[in-house]
Amino acid sequence: DIVMTQSPDSLAVSLGERATIKCKSSQSLLYASNNRNNLAWYQHKPGQPPKLLIYWASTRESGVPARFAGSGSGTEFTLTINSLQAEDVALYYCQQYFNTPPTFGGGTKVEI
């Protein structure tokens, strides 16, 4: 199975500042047939299901605010939340869908 490692485990960011979350995979997630990285990011708030934010490493899901940005390629990826808002307090997970089983990172807790 592909191992996904996120860092940090948690971070505290002031309102309006930037939050940066890293994700490393144990093997490349670059899908040769379309030259895209099979990496997604989810936001998970207590009492709610996870919400898809980003897929193909950098494509924002419909309705996701532009302050959420995904980048990276191969084995190293980043989720950046620009100008953090109060409603962004949540757990964030990366997930690879290059191989079955899909695997998630351990999560990063973002606090104000």
Residues contributing to the site for another protein (CB under 8 A): 38, 40, 42, 44, 48-52, 55-56, 61, 93, 95, 97, 100-107
- Of the candidates 74, 70, 105, 109, the one whose C-alpha atom is nearest the C-alpha of residue 88 is 109
Closer to another protein by Cβ: residue 74 or 106: 106
What's the min distance (Å) between Cβ of 97 and another protein?
Answer: 4
Burial 19-43, CB ≥16 within 10 A → b, else e: bebbbbbeeebbeeeeebbbbbbbb
What's the min distance (Å) between Cβ of 62 and another protein?
Answer: 8
Closer to another protein by Cβ: residue 56 or 67: 56
Closer to another protein by Cβ: residue 26 or 83: 26
Closer to another protein by Cβ: residue 74 or 107: 107
What's the min distance (Å) between Cβ of 80 and another protein?
Answer: 20
What's the min distance (Å) between Cβ of 100 and another protein?
Answer: 6
Residue ranges with strand state E in the chain: 4-7, 10-12, 19-25, 30-31, 36-37, 39-44, 51-55, 59-60, 68-73, 76-81, 90-96, 103-104, 108-111
